[in-house]
Amino acid sequence: MKYKDWLGEWLEFYVKPTTKERTYKKYIYQVKKYITPPLGGFGIDGLTAAELQKFSASLMEQGLAASTINSVMAVLKTSLKVAAQNGITDKFSNECVSRQKVRGKQSDCFSKDEQKKIENYIIASRNTKPNLIGILLCLYTGLRIGELLALTWDDIDFVKGTLTVNKSCRDCWNGKSYVKEIDSPKTQSSNRVIPIPQQIISYLDAEKNRSKCVFVVCGKTEFGAEVRSYQRTFENLLKKLRIPHKGFHAMRHTFATRALECGMDVKTLSEILGHQNANITLQLYAHSLMEHKIEMMNKVGKLLN
């Protein structure tokens, strides 16, 4: 059997019925763009460890990021693993190709002065630019942009002062344009209840009373703001305030950094962010703990006096 024929069967009968639509589409894209052109003509038993390692190296030569290469290789290896499980090939070992090393990078966040400038502008202009309340909410809950734009007023309990994350959204191409598509959250641990700081509740309550949209962040249609549109709103805000550009996700990192600076324990922060475990939080924000470590060490040092 040609590998391209098996890939078609694998995508249709093994991936499509068991994964989210967006995951299925992502796999199709990776197969068509990266895997089928160089490897599709091979017989499935001809994909030796040497050939797969050459393929991995060729992706690196194209200048792809290590994370992208590893994602493509994961699709390839999963397809061959399923083939082996079904007796279509017996030559595949999941350890036959080494992973590319992904360099960790420090999470980007706003300084306290930059954050205060953003907050002051949002509060001052909340009557004329109500949609900016979503940015303030992200700064104090760590929501991902997809979670924020899928959030409806029914997800907020004003009595208990909590919000429930039970869905997310993304922009999806329908063949003519990008439309907002709502789906389940990123992972099972992303389903969570987040306490909202009391200081934010009053702003949300005022906005709900005048909002005519079911979504917390409104858009041009009844389905609320779309991801790319709201990203542009955020970019324009930074330009207006003359704050160096950072991606929308920087607000999630800013929330996590401020929370650690305030003394929030990593386990609590991990649950609020929706991470699968506290180790992920530690790996992402170890640098944020350094200032706290220095402060604690200086307190210990005072014993010398």
Question: Is residue 216 classed as helix, strand or coil in its secondary structure?
Answer: coil
Residues 75 and 212 in one domain: no
Contacts of residue 34, defined as CB under 8 A and 6 or more positions apart, other chains included, come to 59, 72
Q: Check which CATH number belongs to the domain holding 16 and give it.
A: 1.10.150
Sheet with 162-165: list strands edge to edge.
156-157, 162-165, 192-195
Rounded Cα gap, residues 89 and 39, in angstroms: 15
Model confidence pLDDT, tens digit, residues 115-157: 999 999 999 999 899 999 999 999 999 999 999 999 999 999 9
pLDDT of residue 149: 96
pLDDT of residue 101: 59
**Residue 104 phi, psi (nearest 5):** -70, 145
Residues 15 and 156 in one domain: no
Question: What separation, in Å, do the N-terminal and C-terminal C-alpha atoms of the chain show?
Answer: 78
Span 274-278, average pLDDT: 91
Model confidence pLDDT, tens digit, residues 183-200: 888 678 889 999 999 999
Rounded Cα gap, residues 248 and 252, in angstroms: 8
Contact 254, 139 (CB under 8 A): yes
Mean pLDDT is lowest, of 94-103, 150-159, 204-213, for 94-103
Residues 191 and 59 in one domain: no
pLDDT at residue 174 is higher than 80: no
Residues 265 and 145 in one domain: yes
pLDDT grade for 182, boundaries at 50, 70 and 90: confident
pLDDT of residue 103: 55
Task: Tell me how far CA of residue 138 lies from CA of 130, 255, 257, in angstroms.
Answer: 14, 8, 13
pLDDT of residue 233: 96
Range of the domain at 38: 3-85
Model confidence pLDDT, tens digit, residues 3-37: 999 999 999 999 999 988 878 888 999 999 999 99
Q: Which of 44-48, 135-139, 219-223 has the highest mean pLDDT?
A: 135-139
pTM: 0.73
Span 63-86, average pLDDT: 88
Q: Check which CATH number belongs to the domain holding 201 and give it.
A: 1.10.443.10
In one letter, which amino acid is 265?
D
Residues 55 and 149 in one domain: no
Residues 269 and 184 in one domain: yes
pLDDT of residue 4: 94
pLDDT at residue 105 is higher than 70: no
Residues 32 and 178 in one domain: no
Mean per-residue pLDDT over the chain, rounded: 88
Span 257-280, average pLDDT: 92
Contacts of residue 176, defined as CB under 8 A and 6 or more positions apart, other chains included, come to none
pLDDT of residue 67: 79
Span 218-235, average pLDDT: 89
Residue 64 included in any domain: yes
Q: Which of 85, 104, 121 is the last residue of a domain?
A: 85
Residue 105 included in any domain: no
Rounded Cα gap, residues 69 and 30, in angstroms: 10
Number of domains within the chain: 2
Residue 299 included in any domain: no
Which contiguous run of DSSP H or E holds residue 156?
strand 156-157
Q: Which of 68, 85, 102 is the last residue of a domain?
A: 85
pLDDT of residue 215: 95
pLDDT at residue 91 is higher than 80: no
Span 91-101, average pLDDT: 60
Residues 140 and 266 in one domain: yes
Residue 91 included in any domain: no
Residue 219 included in any domain: yes
**∠224-229-232 over CA atoms, to 5°?**
140
Q: Which residues pair with 170 in a beta bridge?
A: 181
